[in-house]
Each structure stands twice: as structure tokens, then as C-alpha cells.
Structure 1
């Protein structure tokens, strides 16, 4: 029996790029259907993440024009990770596999063929991984690759050069639904589910239209969220660093006492101020990291919903009837 595929596409203020890339997604879906790799019941699902432009109106129009297009919209903007999660959770009971991909057309859509093939051969998760970053600037390439390396060093298990372009089976999604974190970092959470996984490699293109919604500031915030959501290694590093500072301070005290007795001490405020500033700075950094964890605990214990769907194109079609 041919599997049902849902292509899940988060959208935020994509009125410029959506009219261009929608044909790419539809044609790829129909190609996979014609090759009898997936069922004709497969769909392209757009997830509107509270866009302020006409993105949702475009999605509704597409859904009326072709049954292979469907869409849902969140009640407000909640961020890329929550939008992807909303689409996956909405799709998991309607299909056998999902492929999440951004709307901007940068990820090579032809990699979907290999993803589906890997699923048919037994893989439950297939990660789309960039083979190279030749189109990136030196700064972008350095920061992006450093992003993955730092995450792994800090204990967040991620696939190098993989973002959120991946195939996931409904079996995995049913287990993933048991992960109740409010602070989401999907590319680090899916490896925790387990099951057989593999990777396919592709070259990324330039954005077709519009502007990127992931500048350096957001990338850094995402990295910090990933580290603090998936690992307690920073706290352990603080503890180790605290012991080192305490040891150095203890040695410094002993040396000072010895110098006092042998009469070689030099009275001065510079060394005193330097030590005070150093220790104070360490304390403030440690308090900041601990505060970040406490803040995440605060958000988690509230158990607020991670997404709220306000409309579905399928419901709108029913009203029209």
C-alpha cells in the first residue's frame, strides 16, 4: 500500500515567495504520486504562523483551487519551531509520513525523492543535510558551522548541517507527541526519539524571494534555546569552573599569607580590585546561566499550549458546501 505523505510548510509573512514556490511543492507531490511512491491522498500543508500580510488569504485561495493544498493558521505568531510542530501534530493521524520544509525554496525539493526511497527501505527518520555551504558568505558559514559544533560540545545531540528539512514517519510522530516541552528545539529533539534514521545530502539554493526570517540574532537565540532545553552541561561546566576559581583563590590566599610572614608584601589596590572584579564577573555569568534554566522551568510548569489553531482550510470548505 502506498504511503500518504504530508509536506508540512511553516509560513510567516511569505506573500512574496509563496505564489512562486507553491508550484514547486505541488509539482513534486504530483511527481511522487505519478511514480506511485505515495498515495494520491497526499497533501501539501501550509502552516500560517500568524502572518501580518496576506499569506493566509493566499493559502485559502490555493486550497480552493486544488484539493492537494490544505492549510491551518495559528491564532498568533508563535515562532518557526511551534509552527512546524503544529503542522506535524495536525498531520500525524492523517498520513504515514511527513516532510517538513521551509517555504522559501532554498532547500532542494528533489531530495524528497531520496527521502521517500529511504523510508520505503525502512528508515523512520530521514534528515536533509547540506552537503556544502559555497553559497554562504564566510561569516555566515563560520557562524552556522560553529553553531552545530557548539551545540554538540554542550551536549545537545544534533545532526551536523541539518535544520528542519526532514522526513518523519507517523510512528515516530506518535512517540514524539509524548515530548511535552514548551521550549522547542526540534532538530535536537528528534534524535532523542530513536528509531532507524539516515541522512540524504543536498545543495541549498539562494532564497527565491522575500527576506530571511532567521538573522544572526535569532540563530544565536535558537542555539541558546537548544543548549538549555536539551542539556545540563553548562551547569556542570559552571560547577567545574567554580571549583577551579575556588582552588586558585585558595592558593592565592596561601601565597599571600606566606608573603606576609616573610615581609615581601606590597600594599596596593590594583590586585585587590582585579580579583574582586574577576570573581564578581564569574558570579554574574553563573547567575545568568542559572537564571536561564530557572526561566525555562517557569515556562514549562505552566503547561501552556504550544500552538493554537484558529482556522483550517478543510473547515472552510465544509462551510462553503
Structure 2
């Protein structure tokens, strides 16, 4: 069995969580310290361009927790960018052997950090917390999430049912995650794609103490489509399939029209022609839109823009004892 870690780092994305932070971050700290007695517990909180008082709350908490480091974005770059920034900074500056990505709202129960560490000590390089029940989400959102993960798993060949960002990663796994250069990030999919030995822990999502999720249905649809096209080219094959089906229908109709003409039963009028034009015209436009989605992914990749921009205040490195100093 692997010895207990000497240093553990928590990566916490934050977006408009001012109502919760003063209560939740101390709880996350306490659970991590209890789970790893004797270890130095670091926490890297990434403020993803919050428009409320989240940044001020994090600054206040820094006065009570010297091992807390706060990174702030110039605007909202998204949760994927926040996870990327937190892992990059934590991997470079903390020297931690184990990293845990956890949400700030306690819907990722921090009490699971202890069992996750035990699985890591038993040899699992990745420990994933998997949703058993999705809490107070509406039936529509639960159904859409279930459909997305089943479709994603089928198209990508990766097991993603119930997947979350709540994960424990060994240091070498984080190093591999950071070497992947794609601009369109999907943390859950990337970790699964790496194929490291993983263990899964089921949990029920608790209700939020305050506030509401920042993920609307429109944002979730956009997020789902972006990740599907980033991890699978299968949707492109639908264009080929549509072409084959269209050709088959065309051949059958042409054969029927020829037989009707030869037998003297051909009907006058253009209803069939107009209907076919509408059907195939729509298929062409749909196919162009699908191809355009992939071209947009290529366009984003070749621009090579950074995943995020940090606010001007320079980050302070975390020393081994949890104190902060300038790099």
C-alpha cells in the first residue's frame, strides 16, 4: 500500500459563489486535513470571472488560511479553463503528490476525500466520484444528462455514465493531463481517455445551501455538443450515411418512375419533385452545419489562444509548509 501523501492539493473552481464561500471552503479544508493527517493541505481557488463578491470573500479567507492561493480570471472563461488553470498552478508550485478537483458549493461532498485517498493508497491513480442520484435536478435535466453521457460513451468508446469533475488524480496523471495541447478541453473525457487505473465511488448529490446553478439549458446544450465533437468524429459519418440513404431513395424513385413511364401509368405534376428537393435541400444544409461545427473546432485550435487570462496581480508560490511567498 502507498504511504500517506506528504502534500495534498485541492483545486476549486469558483463562479459567483459569494453566498457560500465563507462556509464551504473551511469545511472543504477541514475534511481534507482530517483525511490526510500530517500532510500539508494546499487549496488553489480559481475565480472564473465572478461578478459578485466571490473575489473579496476569497481574499478574506486567505487571511485565515495561508495555504490558500487564489487565481482570478479577467473574465468568465468557463469551468474547464478554471480547472486547467488550477491544475497548472498546483502542479508547478505545490509539490503535492495527490490532487483533488472539487466544487465550492459542497455538491461534491468533501467527506469523500478520505475514501478517495484510501483508494489512491491501494494503487488507483485516478479516483472518480460518480453520481448515483442527481439531487434536486429537474426530470428534464436528469434525462438530458443521462442521454448525453450514454451518447458520449457510445460515440467515444469511453465509460462516462454518471461522470463528474470530482476526481482525485495522482501527480503523474495531472502531468499527462497538462501535456495534452487541445484548446477544447473536457476534463472528464480527457482523464478517461488517458486510461490510467481508476476506481469509482458513488455518491448522492446534496442540495445546495444557497444560490442556484449557473448552468442553463442553453449553456448545457452548447457544452454537450462542443464536447461530443471534440471527442468523436462519428457525427461526421452521419453525413455519409445521409448521402447513402438519399442515393438509395433516389435510385428507387428513378426505377419506379421509369417503370411507370414504360407502362403508361406516369402521373403528371411536380409534387414528388418538390418534396424531394425540400428533403434533400434540408439534408444538405444540415450536413453543412455539422461539417461547420468541426471546422469551427479546427479554427479554434489553430488560433492557439490561451485557455484563460489571469488578472494582473501576480500569483504567490506556495512553500512546502503552506506559507506564501513571491516566486
Q: 1:230 to 1:117 in 2, by over 3 A?
A: same
How do 1:1-321 residues align onto structure 2 when only pairs under 5 Å count?
2-3=4-5, 4-34=7-37, 36=38, 39=39, 41-93=40-92, 94=94, 95-133=96-134, 135-155=136-156, 157-310=158-311, 311=313, 314=316, 318=325
Q: Distance in 1 between matches of 2:131 and 2:13?
A: 20
Q: Distance in 1 between matches of 2:239 and 2:269?
A: 30
Instruction: Give the alignment's TM-score, normalised by structure 2.
Output: 0.91
Q: 1:170 to 1:312 in 2, by over 3 A?
A: farther
Q: Does structure 2 retain, via aligned residues, the 8 Å contact 1:185–1:222?
A: no
Q: Does structure 1 retain, via aligned residues, the 8 Å contact 2:150–2:160?
A: no
Q: Does structure 2 retain, via aligned residues, the 8 Å contact 1:100–1:166?
A: yes
Q: Distance in 1 between matches of 2:157 and 2:47?
A: 29
Q: 1:53 to 1:156 in 2, by over 3 A?
A: farther
Q: Distance in 2 between matches of 1:134 and 1:299?
A: 35
* CA deviation string 1:166-199 (max 9, x = no partner): 1111101111222111111111111111221111
Q: Does structure 2 retain, via aligned residues, the 8 Å contact 1:183–1:229?
A: yes
Q: Distance in 1 between matches of 2:303 and 2:315?
A: 30
Q: Does structure 1 retain, via aligned residues, the 8 Å contact 2:108–2:166?
A: yes
* CA deviation string 1:130-158 (max 9, x = no partner): 12236433222211111111212332624
Q: Does structure 2 retain, via aligned residues, the 8 Å contact 1:7–1:98?
A: yes
Q: Distance in 1 between matches of 2:136 and 2:54?
A: 28
Q: Which runs of 5+ in 1 are unaligned?
A: none
Per mean C-alpha deviation after superposition, the further-off stretch among 19-28 and 290-299 is: 19-28
Q: Which runs of 5+ in 2 are unaligned?
A: 319-323
Q: Does structure 2 retain, via aligned residues, the 8 Å contact 1:98–1:168?
A: yes
Q: Distance in 1 between matches of 2:317 and 2:11?
A: 18
Equivalent residue for 2:321?
A: none
Q: Distance in 1 between matches of 2:41 and 2:98?
A: 9
SS of residue paired to 2:127: strand
Q: Does structure 1 retain, via aligned residues, the 8 Å contact 2:44–2:86?
A: yes
The Cα of 1:81 is off from its aligned counterpart by: 0.8
SS of residue paired to 2:165: strand
Q: 1:312 to 1:10 in 2, by over 3 A?
A: farther
The Cα of 1:315 is off from its aligned counterpart by: 6.4
The Cα of 1:236 is off from its aligned counterpart by: 1.4
Q: 1:79 to 1:134 in 2, by over 3 A?
A: closer
The Cα of 1:314 is off from its aligned counterpart by: 2.8
Q: Distance in 2 between matches of 1:100 and 1:60?
A: 20
- Measured on the aligned residues, the alpha-carbon RMSD in Å equals 1.8
The Cα of 1:318 is off from its aligned counterpart by: 4.3
Q: Does structure 1 retain, via aligned residues, the 8 Å contact 2:99–2:169?
A: yes
> What count of residue pairs does the alignment treat as equivalent?
315
